C-alpha cells in the first residue's frame, strides 16, 4: 500500500489490495479528488484516521439504459407525491446524508473536511445533487461527481419512504438525456441492484472512464 505525499498522483489501480485499498494519506484538494475519480478511485475513511483511497474490483455500476422501475415506484413517480429538482440544495443534501448516516451507523465518513471539499467541487461545477421535496420540505436526495459523461454517486438519504428512489430515478433519467453513459455506485447493495445496478470488472470500468471522462 502506498502512502501519498503532496504530489497529486496515485499508484496504478491494479496495485490495490483484495479489499480495494490502494493508498492512504494525501489531501482532499480539488485536483487530487478529480484525478482520483478519473482514475477509478474514491476516498472513504473515518474521522480520526488518515484519508484512505479505494478502487474495489469488481465495481458496482448502473448503465442508465438498464434502470429498473418497479410498478410501485412508477405509481410514486406519477402520483405527484414528490417534486424533483437538481442542484437546488447541495449543502442541505450532503448535510442530511451526514446526519442520517451518523444516526444509522453511529458514525459516518462524511466529516467536515469531506463536506468542505465537495462543497468546493459543487461551487466549481463538478459536484451535483438531486432532490426530492414533499410539501416544500427536502425529504430525500443524493450527491456525487460528474466528469464528462460519467457520474460518480457518493451518498443518498431519505426521510420518508421512496424519497431517495424518486430522486435517484429522476436523476438517472436526466443524466441519460444529457449523455451520461455510466453511473458509478462504488459498492453493491440490494437497494441499488433493485434499481438495475450490476457488477463490472475494474479493468472494464477503467476503460470506460478513459473513454467517457
* Beta pairing, strands 137-147 & 150-158: antiparallel
121, 169: one domain: yes
103, 124: one domain: yes
97, 70: one domain: yes
pLDDT value for 106: 58
Q: Which residue range(s) make up the domain with 205? A: 60-212
Query: Residue 58: is it exposed, middle or buried by C-beta count within 10 angstroms (0-12/13-18/19+)?
Result: middle
Q: Which of 36, 57, 78 is the last residue of a domain?
A: 57
Would the pLDDT of 105 be above 60?
no
Q: Tell me the angle at which helices 30-38 and 112-123 cross, rounded to the nearest 10 degrees.
A: 80
For residue 49, what is the domain's CATH number? Answer: 3.30.70.3550
Question: How many domains does the chain fold into?
Answer: 2
For residue 199, what is the domain's CATH number? Answer: 3.40.630.70
46, 76: one domain: no
Separation CA 126–CA 60 (nearest Å): 21
Q: In this predicted model, what pLDDT tens digit does every residue of 21-64 receive, in sequence order?
A: 999 999 999 999 999 999 999 999 988 899 999 999 999 999 99
Which pTM was predicted? 0.96
26, 113: one domain: no
87, 66: one domain: yes
Amino acid at each position: 500500500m502506498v502512502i501519498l505525499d503532496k504530489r497529486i498522483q496515485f499508484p496504478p489501480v491494479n496495485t490495490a489490495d483484495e479489499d480495494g485499498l490502494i493508498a492512504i494519506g494525501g489531501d482532499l484538494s480539488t485536483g487530487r479528488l478529480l484525478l482520483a475519480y478519473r482514475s477509478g478511485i474514491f476516498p472513504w475513511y473515518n474521522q480520526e484516521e488518515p484519508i484512505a483511497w479505494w478502487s474495489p474490483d469488481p465495481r458496482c455500476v448502473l448503465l442508465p439504459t438498464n434502470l429498473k422501475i418497479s410498478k410501485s415506484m412508477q405509481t410514486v413517480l406519477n402520483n405527484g407525491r414528490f417534486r424533483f429538482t437538481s442542484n437546488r440544495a447541495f449543502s442541505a443534501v450532503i448535510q442530511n446524508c451526514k446526519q442520517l448516516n451518523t444516526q444509522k451507523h453511529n458514525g459516518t465518513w462524511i466529516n467536515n473536511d469531506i463536506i468542505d471539499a465537495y462543497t468546493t467541487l459543487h461551487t466549481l461545477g463538478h459536484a451535483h445533487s438531486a432532490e426530492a421535496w414533499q410539501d416544500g420540505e427536502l425529504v430525500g436526495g443524493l450527491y456525487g461527481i460528474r466528469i464528462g459523461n460519467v457520474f460518480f454517486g457518493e451518498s443518498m438519504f431519505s426521510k420518508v419512504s421512496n424519497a431517495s428512489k424518486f430522486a435517484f430515478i429522476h436523476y438517472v433519467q436526466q443524466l441519460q438525456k444529457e449523455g451520461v453513459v455510466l453511473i458509478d455506485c462504488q459498492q453493491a447493495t440490494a437497494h441499488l441492484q433493485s434499481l438495475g445496478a450490476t457488477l463490472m470488472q475494474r479493468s472494464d470500468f477503467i476503460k470506460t472512464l478513459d473513454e467517457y471522462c
